[in-house]
Structure 1
Amino acid sequence: MSPSYAVRVADNPTDREACFAVRKEVFVVEQGVPQDIEYDAYDADAVHVLAVRDDGVPLGTGRLLYGEAAAAKTDGDLTVGSLGRLAVTREARGLGVGVALVRAIEEAARARGLAAVDLHAQTHALGFYERLGYVVYGAEFPDAGIPHRAMRRPL
């Protein structure tokens, strides 16, 4: 039987540190993204979500940028949020954690009156996001040396 988990907004320092720890495990250690580009100025004002197992072990995270922070990533459109830094620990993959995190980020975007969510998906994850209703647009581009594509889903 798979462990149960909950997804919540990371609204305290302990939860935020758990989010950053998951990102370090997945992006920095596992994928080799340089630590100095994994964390950025957007982290301070982003809505971070955290998935935790019933015993408190962090399983995944993601963030939503909105307003001016998202506009820089969405061609200036203030009605579009930017989903990013979605990471699920190796042990939690296949349990639905990624889907739950995306849906929580979309709910946070709706609560802020946003009309759509954009993201930059690693190309190996395109199918995951397409199953959730995201559509690819634009050409492939590198981010941290990893091929990505832009995607969008109206809310």
Structure 2
Amino acid sequence: MSEIEVRIADWHDDNADLRRIREQVFIVEQAVPPDLEWDAEDTDAVHFLAFEGDYAIGTARLLPDAHIGRVAVLRDWRGMHVGVALMNAVVAEAERRHMTEQYLTAQVHATRFYERLGFRVVSEEFLEAGIPHVEMTRTSR
């Protein structure tokens, strides 16, 4: 595997890659209904793409209110620190924008991943799109 690179993406120019990854992970693998996956917030979000070479393998988004979401890595690249690279880029951009507290809604199975990145659970478990989630926050130092 070559080195993973993460860059800020453009919702319009990079739309095919952003949609391909999110459709595969959320709609196909996790059976999230398409009308829940796609929302009006995508146009105002800062999007991120992770690449191996020139192939996009992961994505995430940062909303203007410091909410991080739609973190997705294609199955064949999971466990290879792509998610860490994505989240480090998102948190760095949030901090650059003076968003000192970031938050996200995490699937329960992923809470340990986010805890290693400095997030902490701040809610009880709840269902979103039929999947158990919790709210998590992180405060910049």
Fold shared by both chains (TM-score > 0.5):
yes
Residue 62 of structure 2 corresponds to 64
CA RMSD of aligned residues (A): 1.1
**CA distance in 2 between partners of 1:16 and 1:137 (Å):** 32
Q: Does 1:11 align with 2:5?
A: no
- CA shift for structure 1 position 141: 1.0
- CA shift for structure 1 position 12: 6.0
**CA distance in 2 between partners of 1:39 and 1:63 (Å):** 12
Output one character per residue of 1:58-84: Cα deviation in whole Å (capped at 9) or x when no partner. 110000001xxx3xxxxxxxxxx1000
Give TM-score scaled by structure 2 length: 0.95
Other structure's SS at 2:10 match: coil
Identity, in percent, stands at 46
**CA distance in 1 between partners of 2:87 and 2:19 (Å):** 17
* Residue correspondences, number: 140
Q: Does 1:113 align with 2:112?
A: no
- CA shift for structure 1 position 5: 2.2
Give TM-score scaled by structure 1 length: 0.86
**CA distance in 1 between partners of 2:4 and 2:120 (Å):** 28
Q: Does 1:149 align with 2:134?
A: yes
Residue 41 of structure 1 corresponds to 40
